[in-house]
Amino acid sequence: MPRQPEWYQQLPTALAMIRTFPAPVVDRAGLEILLHVSRRAAIRLMHRFGGYQAGRTFLIAREDLLRQLEAIRDGDTYQWESRRRERLDQALQKRIVIQVTSKVGDRKLANLPSGVRLERRRLEIRFGSMEELLRQLFEFSQVISNDYDSFCSWIEKS
Under the banding of pLDDT at 50, 70 and 90, the label for residue 79 is very high
Mean pLDDT over 36-43 rounds to 95
Element (H, E) at 119: strand 116-119
**CA gap 109, 91 in Å, rounded:** 34
What is the structure's pLDDT at 108? 84
Mean pLDDT over 105-133 rounds to 86
Other beta carbons within 10 Å of 18:
18
What is the structure's pLDDT at 153? 86
**CA gap 70, 79 in Å, rounded:** 12
CATH entry 1.10.150 includes domain 6-93? no
Element (H, E) at 131: helix 130-146
Greater pLDDT, 70 or 3: 70
CATH 1.10.10 location in the chain? 6-93
Q: What's the chain's average pLDDT?
A: 89
What's the chain's Rg over C-alpha atoms? 28
Task: Convert the pLDDT of each residue in 44-77 to its tens digit.
Answer: 999 999 999 999 999 999 999 999 999 999 999 9
CA distances from 118 to 82, 121, 145 (A): 49, 8, 15
| pTM as predicted | 0.59
